Structure 1
Amino acid sequence: MTTAARRPELARRFFDRFEPIHAVTYFAPESRSAMDQLGCRGFWEGYFAGRAAPLETAAAPVVTALFYNFSAARVAKSLTRAWATTSPAAALRARSDGAAAALTRCGVADDDRLEVAAALAAKAAATAPLDGRALFAANAALPWPDDPVRRLWHAATLLREHRGDGHVAALVAAGVTGRESNVLQAAGGTIPADYVKRARDYDETEWQSCTARLAARGLLTDDGALTEAGAQLRRDIETVTDTVALGALAGLADDEVGALFAALTPLTRRVVAAGDVPDQTPMGLRRDELDDDSAHLG
């Protein structure tokens, strides 16, 4: 089977498996503690310092553009404070240390499937296309760790930024701004509006402004409900995102994809069972089929 013959849903199912491995870096106590020890105050300083560290000390507008859906004021405030107390190099070390400690606690290090998952995820990430994917490219320029736990986490990080860059491109092509994308996501029922407003720093004026712009395009009703045109646009964006994300598996043969799913899915179950990654996140993770270890390529 060629990459062109693989269905976009494969990329979505892959995301549901590698994203929890990566996401411990935001939510696990070991990861939070590692960033706190650098002097980062609160969740967001640690978040932006860690995730933006591969970009070194890129200006806040650059980080805002690449991360896409965050408040520019939040990005600028967090990075200014973070880089006043630490450095990108220190943040990278802390990020890797915290993630490795968290995954080890979850039992990932004690599983004999780790070596297979780490090797194949790394092969996928190392052969994924760089074109147009600036955040992925910045992470890809970092050295690969030798330890299999850290290698798996680094591969998952590359894969999630690869997919994220493609998702941003799909949103841009659809004419949906970063701030509008959060409103559209909430209208689709993926996550509650109140949660998005808190997590992404909206006041009521900005939220209503985004709603009005989307309504003027026929994507939302005046009171913020999703129209059929809006629902179709969301489906189209997700299909494009999944389709271009398939490139992350292009370097693996079918038997390798199958082996990667079989090795990675049980590790993801362990991470999810540990409870660090919340049920409700802006990533919209699905957990209803993590009992299925198959890639379903046959």
Structure 2
Amino acid sequence: MDSAAAGRAARALELLHSFTYFAPEVHSELGELGLKGSAMKYVASRVAPMGTVGPAVATATFYNFAPRLIGAALPAAWEIAAPSAVYAARVRGVDAAMTRWLGADVIASPEMVEAAELAATIARSIPGVDGRALYAGYADQPWPEAPHLVFWHALTLLREYRGDGHVAVLLGAGLTGLDALVTHTASGIGFTAEFVKANRGWTAEEWDGAESALREAGLLDRAGALTGDGFEVRELVEDLTDDLGVAPWAAAGEEVVERLLDLAVPWRDTIADGGPLPGGMFGPRFGDAR
């Protein structure tokens, strides 16, 4: 399996991991601990596997969030609940969310058992933690027992492994976290700008400043669209991200990956069509990567 095909597979399955950030069941479990507000819940629950880290570590590993948003969440969250308790609450919420949005019949099906085994096979083929700090935190967590949670955990490992590589590529390309968001939304294939500004904590002034700098660098035109050079940079970023993330998919092999996609893409579409996703999270059809 080549890196482009592996990248398409990763993008096709990502929603089955990321929808849980927005699921009411997850927010409810985190709220029971005393965490307040969607930003605190997101930041604390995602970084919890790394332990009691401060805002600088979370800002570095998340990369494209405004530091003020993360600083408002940490270390305040750890004064409310320990990271281990936060992560356990997240998993409980994921359990409830997957059961609700996919249905109890799917959760208990032989197909879910098979998908969990396939996803775990791919995730266990990740070669190591070198330079992958956020992935390493999740790799230290025990594997759950229930098949649907094995499935989710495997996709989470693959997502954070790929994400850590993506950050390395963005750094190499000279794009800050905000630059990365602006150029990504300008490409028209992912988050909308309105969603990102609200979700990542950047002000309109900061966004406009980044657009101005990117225009001066020749990556955006006057209308805020990518120039030819801008498209080349984004294409290079995505290609190198695929290259850095290909190892587990290639090790598992094309047959394993294709079977996993056959099983899981319909579940993804179920969530995309009726799940708890905020408006503007995606531009054109987000994950039809097959």
TM-score, length of structure 2 as denominator length: 0.91
2:216 match: 216
Deviations 1:115-145 (A, max 9, x none): 1111111121122132221111110111111
> Is the CA contact 1:100–1:153 (under 8 Å) kept in the aligned structure 2?
no
Range 163-172 or range 254-263, more displaced: 254-263
In structure 2, relative to structure 1, the CA distance for the partners of 1:287 and 1:223 (3 Å cut) is closer
Question: Aligned partners of 1:267, 1:86: CA distance in 2, in Å?
Answer: 33
1:50 match: 45
Deviations 1:78-135 (A, max 9, x none): 1233112111011111111101111112224033211111111112112213222111
2:66 match: 71
1:140 match: 139
Range 12-21 or range 77-86, more displaced: 12-21
Which of the residues 30, 33, 37 maps onto 2:32?
37
1:232 match: 232
Q: Which runs of 5+ in 2 are unaligned?
A: none
Matches within 5 A, 1:18-33: 18-33=13-28
> Is the CA contact 2:40–2:73 (under 8 Å) kept in the aligned structure 1?
yes
Give me the CA root mean square deviation. Answer: 2.1
1:13 match: 8
Match status 1:122 vs 2:120? yes
Question: Aligned partners of 1:196, 1:259: CA distance in 2, in Å?
Answer: 33
Matches within 5 A, 1:1-298: 6-105=1-100, 106-107=102-103, 108-129=106-127, 130-190=129-189, 191-222=191-222, 224-278=224-278, 280-281=280-281, 286-288=286-288
Range 257-266 or range 87-96, more displaced: 257-266
Q: Which runs of 5+ in 1 are unaligned?
A: 1-5, 293-298
Question: Aligned partners of 2:204, 2:271: CA distance in 1, in Å?
Answer: 36
In structure 2, relative to structure 1, the CA distance for the partners of 1:283 and 1:34 (3 Å cut) is farther
Q: Secondary structure at the match of 1:41?
A: coil
Q: What displacement does 1:54 show?
A: 0.6
Sequence identity (%): 38
Q: What displacement does 1:156 show?
A: 1.1
> Is the CA contact 2:123–2:154 (under 8 Å) kept in the aligned structure 1?
yes
> Is the CA contact 2:195–2:279 (under 8 Å) kept in the aligned structure 1?
no
In structure 2, relative to structure 1, the CA distance for the partners of 1:24 and 1:192 (3 Å cut) is closer
Range 226-235 or range 19-28, more displaced: 19-28
Q: What displacement does 1:205 show?
A: 2.6
Q: What displacement does 1:151 show?
A: 0.8
Range 88-97 or range 257-266, more displaced: 257-266
